[in-house]
Structure 1
Amino acid sequence: RVTDINGVSRLFQYDPRGRLVGLTYEADGSGVEFTYDKAGLLATALDADSVIRTLEYDPDCGRLFKITDAQSNSILYSYNSQGNITQMSYQDPGGHQTFSQAYDYQGSEPPGLLHQIRFPDGTYVEFAYDEAGRRIKVQDRSGNTTQFEYDVLGRTTAIVRPGDAQTRFGYDLHGNLVSVTDAEGRNTAYLYDDLGRPVYRSSPDTGITIWTYDAAGNVTSKKDAKGNLTQYEYDQLDRLVAVHFPDPNYDYRFVYDEGPNAKGRLCEVIDPTGSTRFSYDFRGRIIGKTSIIDGVSFDLKRSYTAQGRLSSITYPTGKKLLYEYDNCGRLDSIMVKNGDQETLLMHMVHHLPFGPADKIETFAGNLVESGYDEQYRLTASNPGQQTERLYHYTPNGLLEQLIVTNLPQMNQSYAYDALNRLVSASGPYGTINYAYDKTGNRLSRELNGEIENYSYQPGSSRLVEITGPNPTDFSYDENGNVVSAGNLTFTYDFNNRLVKADNGDRTIAQYTYNALGQKATKQSEKGKIIFIYDLNGNLIAEAKGDGSITSEYFYTGKTVLARSDAGVDHLYYYVKNQVGAPVLITDPDGAVLWQAQYLPFGQAQVNSHSSIVNNLRFPGQYFDNETGLHYNYFRHYHPGIGRFIEPDPIGLRGGINLYAYAFNDPVNIVDPTGQFGLAGIIIGATSGALGGLAAGLKSGNIWAGIIGGIAGGIVGGAIGFAFPPASGMVATMIGNAVAGAIGGATAGMVGTRLRNPGATNKEILLGTAKGAGIGLLTGSISGAAGGAVAQLGASPAVGELAGTMIAQPIDIGLGLAEFNINWNPNGEEEAIPDVWPEAIAYPDDWGSALEWDPQNPQEIKRETSVTLTVSGGSPPYDWAVTGQGFTLDKRVTQGGQNVLKADSTACGAAVVSVSDS
């Protein structure tokens, strides 16, 4: 039994061999169960919602080769003689392969390293290494190469992308990163204190920033280029309790430990707009959020299944969003309940194995079908019907053509350069061509023959002038925020948030923000709007200044499905494009009430016959009519120029260009928070395929490439998107579909393989067990954990607040704990320090018999042996052993002891059997 600080007890059950077989919460009896095979390997895992996974292993080496869900869908793995995964595939119950990916280790130098990742369409990503085994070249699926250079100490000194776009890195004598020089020669410099903590950053875009620390290593102050000093206060547990700005009227306060089940958790955030309170159930899940904005209170409630899957959200008006799941733990249906009236938003009729839903019943009872290839890329929607759309991709997996079969005038085509940036597009808007410098600053845009040219402040990425049909001048403050754009002028707060917009001498809009980084209110000539958000940061409601709700929005993930307006007795339904931007809004009868088409970078051309207003744009964006800008959570986006008007709050972790949107690929990538790009085509596909969202959000390859360290941010677009959106889908789908311990165990196993394709089986088993530990002790793996979330103990939005607000030095913002992947300053994958309690360590049957070199865990330092002793029975004994690389001193012996030996080829588990006379 383990009883936490809130008095919640969990019971851990073990079998006679000390293996964990169950965990139960005493409060409600919910829990998870495990069984093991004869070799002691996890065989089945049953979660609290009765979702089961079955795992099967190679009898010779104990390697996992099959995972099966409750509907007999399976994931299959093949290995080479070194234990590396060479093939993974998904199969349906009939044995039909729906997804596959192959890994080739032949031909690499040095031998045994990953040489190619091969895809079903014949394309591949290829890797090359130096003599030390460091990756020196990556060739993407289109044949473009990115090269890496190192110094004698193995530190990355340069990343060279196609077109000789070189990013260079410099270090001090202690190995600290002291300079990042982009491909245009712009340098960001860093200085450190004696403890190796960054204390100074000089950026060509954001100026000079200075940090100080306390003895525990917490950031205590930040001074920006404008001279604004922000101070941070902590309690004795190193939890952030206050943020002090130069004007105390803007301060934030954080309150912990107050209320039921709240010890060790964030309970209230107090800021100039009001306050936000969180309430928790006995498992530490947020069940209530009360936002008080300008004196008006709004309540949001959540409930969960026994395993912790979201079951319902109750909106401020009392409407409920209900979620149901199938026996595989996948989202099955979403309904809106208003009093006694229930309205179906969507029902997933059929899922592909461990992947997206390819048949969905809509609110109108229509069946929407989607086609996917063996990389789980959307290839067709509504095939064979009047509304059929076909999708074609480049070798790199970027959308190349969108064909609307029965409306050819709506067809669109796209072309990209070697850096995967959009360089041309054609569609109903005509033809557009783009040109960029080596770091992604737009140099020109040609629309149907009319050319705009873009000029920048020397030595920075600050856009200062556009010439052409609509000439515009821009100016900036010391922190890099745009303070004027043509006739518009902008004012910012101490957190670099846009708080006022003026047109000439007339104020056209004023904004306030809460401590979670969300825009709380807007005051314009049309009146006041209050914005209310869910725990995922989605805008779920708008209200007038008196608190009366005018609109409510219903989502799955980051994708909006429907809207409810005050005084209207039915819902409005959203139809979206491939990146999730609304293109149609209809009533229940299918009548079109709002319609728009978009230029590639998100500039909406709204049909003049639209009878309602819609301000939602790209995922995470809200159109402000007063300025023409899109509010994008942590920043404001200007769709006309394809840039943000503020620099990225997480710095170089979001990419080498602090202003560019989505790596200049808005066709395939979106940026819901204004911090880093995600595989947008997957988000868009969730309109007809919910399961795909997980791949884009959590894929090891893509996520690490985007939000990793500085080098990860720089290479993110080039290397992360050399893989299709479904890359790393094993870890993704298992971790997402199998909540709690099951998800943790399987994700831990596969995540270990993906991080280290040459990992030994012992490493994989430990990864599996530790992953199970995370799931067991947290109930389920959250969507965005990381240090900040763990410290504040609240929602992902709260975690992002900490990373953004403190703006960690060296651009170290959020972490991702799900698959234990991060990037070090050299751009290489590395493990985040373990967060698993030692009590959940996998039982080590070998004790200390096998000795592993921590610097080279793939190699056994020496041949080893262990003495086994029989208790009971009568001699003589008959001994036998199975397992690669294992031998016994004696097969038959009079004595009750024997010596089991493991040579350097040993893998998996040794199964020893003994029988007496």
Structure 2
Amino acid sequence: MSKDIDGKQTETYSWTKQRISGEKYYRLGAYEYKRSDPDTSVPLLSQKVITRDGATYSTTYSNYDAYGNPGQVAESGPNGGSRTTTLTYNINTNKWLVKQVKDESFPGSSITRSFDTNGNLLSQTRDGVSTSYTYDAQGNVATVTYPRSLTHTLSNYKRGIPQSESQPEGVNITRVVSDAGNITSETNGDQRTTTYGYDLQNRLTSITRPAGDAVSISYTGPTIGYTSKIVTRGTLKETTQYDGFMRPISVDLGGVVRTTTYDNNGRKNFESNPGASIGTKFQQYDGLGRVGLITNADNTTRTFTYGAGTRTVTDERNNATTETLRGYGNPDQTFVMGISKPDASANVTLARNSKDLVTSVTQAGLTRSYGYNSNYYLTSVTDPETGTTTYGRDAAGNMTSRTVGASGTTNYTYDNQNRLTAVSYPNGAPAVSKTYSKTHRLLTVNSSSANRSYAYDANNNLTSESVVVDGRTFTTGYGYNTRDQLQSITYPQSGKVVSYAPDALGRPTQVSGYITSVSYWPSGMPKQINYANGTVTEYDQHSRLWPSTFRTQKSGTYYVNSSYGYDGMGNLSSISDSADGSYNRSFGYDSLDRLTTANGPWGSGTIAYNGAGNITSQVLGGSNLYYSYTDGTNRLNSVTGSRTTTYGYDAYGNVTSGSGNTYTYDGVPNLTCVNCGNAAAKIEYTYDGLNRRVSATKAGVKTYEVYGSHGNQLIEFTPSQSNRLVEYIYLGGKRIAQRVTP
């Protein structure tokens, strides 16, 4: 038997037969006789062969048992795909259990299972990693014991849902389940409760969190199914419209609408930009549902072609990249084995083990290798820059140790929730300890350099974080509105409050004292920013949602009036400034989207690369720089030309010398000292347990640095300079101002 799909794929099935019964049959009537009927059989699939795009994917089934279960499955496919799996089954005819897979293995890997007499799974060991289960009298799961012997207890079931759950580290979760089998409330490990409401069709209609606005959900349409779903929380409203097949065709989130359309086969053929009628088209699907052409909003295109074990993408600049794919019996499950780039010097080849985990990646003659233990946890990485890094693993796969090349060993400790609780570093770097809440929020991070602590509200929003350095406490506060959106930050040291007045989507509409208003494009990109000093910044938007213009003016005088050009890949190709044409710039890129030409105020420029993507030369105007790399290590060895520099490295691959400076690192490794041997140029740094810098000492003057939870530096404080305080102000992640006192 065979079938053909759109000329792209053929499937051929071969069958064998298995005798059902050897019993003798009796017929009573005018005369009596008996006979054996050996031809009463059931068909069994012996082979399935799929040929897709010229590549063959074969699955052969053999060694069937009396119940029609194959004992061996052999698969083969393109680019080295070959695997034979052996299977055994849990057979208990008294309970009509004849199809449960008990053990399965192929070279290098195995899964073993055990069952009770009712067919409940008691244990599963996958490549040496075991999970076990127990059951109550009703057959519900009573305990699950995960690797490292960590047991979760489930009890008080209702409608098949555990209403009580006890986890290690004293984490207890309780639920209330309705007679309809819906969870109507859940109390988390911190004993804070969220409640849920449902309609008569058991559809979720409300979510009430421990604090803030409740979420309400309503539906419109027929009794069965619905044509729209409306989710509201405070002033934020999301309306989703559905077609007759319950596919979303329109989503209106806070007034920003995105639409989706489908072809007659149910495949997406258009998705609009936010708040716009233009968008992205998905076209030329083949009979297997694979897209052949994507047309962007600016009419640039990306094409997809499929070959025998290959997939090629031709991008918006007409550069083609081809992936070579290993397959087995299923062409929809493949693994990349090679990448052919538009520039062959950058081609990539991969090797994989029997589990299809990557064991090596080679590009431009440089190979990175990966090793695994018998549990198939990553235990080593060998790369050109640092040699071999080894990792210790516990039964759950947590990293327990790390050694980079010839460096010392870092050790890691975990609690019974598999949360990292302690780190000890080599070479005298401060050890770190961590604690957590019963909802897994970080509470403290302590080291001999600095201690951090965190507090949260009932909805688990971070409300404050404190860092203690040299006995000084710096506390940052965070305020939220009733939709859990960031409303304000209280700065450390000064206590200054910066308010953001978030809109319904949580985007800041002001930065108090610095920005009076912010408006946005539907995509979320800022449209206009009005600063408190009267300066106005405006952005226009490209059809691909990139910024197309950037203008800054005050009282009608433009300081910047730039227009941006892009190629089809979104690479910046030009900047034209009508306020000052001397700042006009143009850029060119190679087939790998690497910057190769740059013309601007500096003159004309060219940049060249090797196959690994390292810059080999850079000529910008009158500056000529040439870069050389140490063979086999991929490390930058020297720069020559307009300036000359050589570089040294430590075991971690950190730069230890270059450009006339020396650099020292601890065992983390964090940069701890620059120019330690030169008192006049010496700078020392210290860090907290999250590896955020907390102080810098230059010429004997110590300055404290505080970073917020989002990674932005908030302040610098220098007590010895009349308590000099520098505060950095942000709009989102962009620094827009700094305030210096005194």
TM value normalised by structure 1: 0.57
Pairing partner for 2:291 from 114, 138, 157: 114
Q: 2:454 aligns to what?
A: 278
Aligned-pair CA distance for 1:540: 0.7
Letter in 2 for 1:436: Y
Pairing partner for 1:423 from 587, 596, 609: 596
Q: Distance in 1 between matches of 2:335 and 2:270?
A: 32
SS at match of 1:151: strand
Q: 2:189 aligns to what?
A: 5
Q: Distance in 1 between matches of 2:429 and 2:660?
A: 30
For residues 796-834 of structure 1, what are the alpha-carbon distances to aligned partners after superposition, in whole Å with 9 as ceiling and x for unaligned?
xxxxxxxxxxxxxxxxxxxxxxxxxxxxxxxxxxxxxxx
Pairing partner for 2:304 from 127, 130, 142: 127
Q: Distance in 2 between matches of 1:263 and 1:495?
A: 28
Aligned-pair CA distance for 1:485: 0.9
Aligned-pair CA distance for 1:231: 0.7
Are residues 1:180 and 2:361 paired? yes
Distance 1:495 1:253, change over 3 A: same
Are residues 1:104 and 2:288 paired? no
Q: 1:459 aligns to what?
A: 632
Q: 1:375 aligns to what?
A: 544
Q: 2:26 aligns to what?
A: none
Aligned-pair CA distance for 1:45: 3.4
Pairing partner for 2:417 from 213, 228, 237: 237
Q: Distance in 2 between matches of 1:475 and 1:525?
A: 25
Letter in 1 for 2:416: Q
Are residues 1:541 and 2:718 paired? no
Q: 2:392 aligns to what?
A: 212
Q: 2:51 aligns to what?
A: none
Pairing partner for 2:567 from 394, 408, 428: 394
Letter in 2 for 1:141: E
Distance 1:243 1:495, change over 3 A: same
Q: Distance in 2 between matches of 1:447 and 1:526?
A: 39
Q: What are the within-5 Å matches in structure 2 for residues 262-411 of structure 1?
A: 264-316=440-492, 317-326=494-503, 328-336=504-512, 343-349=513-519, 351-382=520-551, 386=558, 387-411=560-584
Aligned-pair CA distance for 1:373: 2.4
SS at match of 2:548: strand
Contact between 1:99 and 1:376, CA under 8 Å: does it hold in 2? Answer: no
Are residues 1:80 and 2:255 paired? no
Pairing partner for 2:326 from 151, 158, 168: 151
Distance 1:366 1:457, change over 3 A: closer
Letter in 2 for 1:173: S
Structure having greater relative contact order (Cα 8 Å, sep ≥ 6): 1
Aligned-pair CA distance for 1:249: 5.5
Aligned-pair CA distance for 1:542: 0.4
Aligned-pair CA distance for 1:391: 1.0
For residues 180-221 of structure 1, what are the alpha-carbon distances to aligned partners after superposition, in whole Å with 9 as ceiling and x for unaligned?
111x11111122111111212211112111111122221111
Letter in 1 for 2:732: G
Letter in 1 for 2:706: I
Distance 1:70 1:490, change over 3 A: closer
Contact between 2:636 and 2:647, CA under 8 Å: does it hold in 1? Answer: yes
Aligned-pair CA distance for 1:224: 1.5
Distance 1:41 1:219, change over 3 A: farther
Q: What are the within-5 Å matches in structure 2 for residues 658-737 of structure 1?
A: none
Pairing partner for 1:518 from 660, 675, 692: 692
Q: Distance in 1 between matches of 2:476 and 2:311?
A: 50
Contact between 2:428 and 2:667, CA under 8 Å: does it hold in 1? Answer: no
Distance 1:549 1:304, change over 3 A: farther
Are residues 1:562 and 2:741 paired? no
Aligned-pair CA distance for 1:332: 4.8
Q: 1:531 aligns to what?
A: 705
Distance 1:111 1:425, change over 3 A: same
TM value normalised by structure 2: 0.70
Task: Name stretches of at least 5 consecutive residues in structure 2 with no aligned partner.
Answer: 1-184, 329-333
Q: Distance in 1 between matches of 2:234 and 2:720?
A: 42
Q: Distance in 1 between matches of 2:296 and 2:326?
A: 33
Task: Name stretches of at least 5 consecutive residues in structure 1 with no aligned partner.
Answer: 337-342, 568-917
Aligned-pair CA distance for 1:464: 0.7
Are residues 1:35 and 2:215 paired? no
Contact between 1:491 and 1:500, CA under 8 Å: does it hold in 2? Answer: yes
Q: 2:109 aligns to what?
A: none
For residues 330-355 of structure 1, what are the alpha-carbon distances to aligned partners after superposition, in whole Å with 9 as ceiling and x for unaligned?
5252233xxxxxx2414124x33343
SS at match of 2:473: strand
Distance 1:202 1:382, change over 3 A: closer
Letter in 2 for 1:3: T
Q: Distance in 2 between matches of 1:465 and 1:29?
A: 58
Aligned-pair CA distance for 1:511: 1.3
Q: 1:17 aligns to what?
A: 201
Q: Distance in 1 between matches of 2:200 and 2:234?
A: 26
Distance 1:419 1:545, change over 3 A: farther
Aligned-pair CA distance for 1:295: 1.9
Contact between 2:436 and 2:443, CA under 8 Å: does it hold in 1? Answer: yes
For residues 448-504 of structure 1, what are the alpha-carbon distances to aligned partners after superposition, in whole Å with 9 as ceiling and x for unaligned?
244222111101210111111211111222322211114322111111221112176
Aligned-pair CA distance for 1:160: 1.6
Identical columns (%): 26
Aligned-pair CA distance for 1:269: 0.2
Distance 1:403 1:64, change over 3 A: same
Aligned-pair CA distance for 1:382: 3.3
Q: 1:162 aligns to what?
A: 342
Q: Distance in 2 between matches of 1:152 and 1:306?
A: 51
Q: 1:190 aligns to what?
A: 370
More strand by share: 2
Contact between 2:241 and 2:248, CA under 8 Å: does it hold in 1? Answer: yes
SS at match of 1:409: helix
SS at match of 2:347: strand
Q: Distance in 2 between matches of 1:235 and 1:304?
A: 31
Contact between 2:574 and 2:584, CA under 8 Å: does it hold in 1? Answer: yes
SS at match of 1:382: strand
SS at match of 1:529: strand
Contact between 1:355 and 1:376, CA under 8 Å: does it hold in 2? Answer: no
SS at match of 2:401: strand
Letter in 2 for 1:522: A
Letter in 2 for 1:524: K
Q: Distance in 2 between matches of 1:232 and 1:545?
A: 36
More helix by share: 1
Distance 1:64 1:400, change over 3 A: same
Letter in 2 for 1:405: S
Give the count of matched residue pairs.
543
Distance 1:173 1:368, change over 3 A: closer
Contact between 1:296 and 1:546, CA under 8 Å: does it hold in 2? Answer: no
Are residues 1:57 and 2:235 paired? no
Q: What are the within-5 Å matches in structure 2 for residues 813-824 of structure 1?
A: none
Q: What are the within-5 Å matches in structure 2 for residues 776-791 of structure 1?
A: none
Contact between 1:249 and 1:272, CA under 8 Å: does it hold in 2? Answer: no
Aligned-pair CA distance for 1:41: 4.2
Q: Distance in 2 between matches of 1:227 and 1:355?
A: 45
Q: Distance in 2 between matches of 1:222 and 1:34?
A: 49
Letter in 2 for 1:467: T
Which is greater in Rg? Answer: 2
Aligned-pair CA distance for 1:70: 4.5
Aligned-pair CA distance for 1:523: 1.2
Q: RMSD of the TM alignment (CA)? A: 2.3
Q: 2:100 aligns to what?
A: none
Pairing partner for 1:414 from 563, 587, 597: 587
Contact between 2:297 and 2:544, CA under 8 Å: does it hold in 1? Answer: yes
Distance 1:545 1:225, change over 3 A: farther
Contact between 2:321 and 2:341, CA under 8 Å: does it hold in 1? Answer: yes
Q: Distance in 2 between matches of 1:102 and 1:325?
A: 33
Q: Distance in 1 between matches of 2:659 and 2:241?
A: 65
Q: 2:172 aligns to what?
A: none
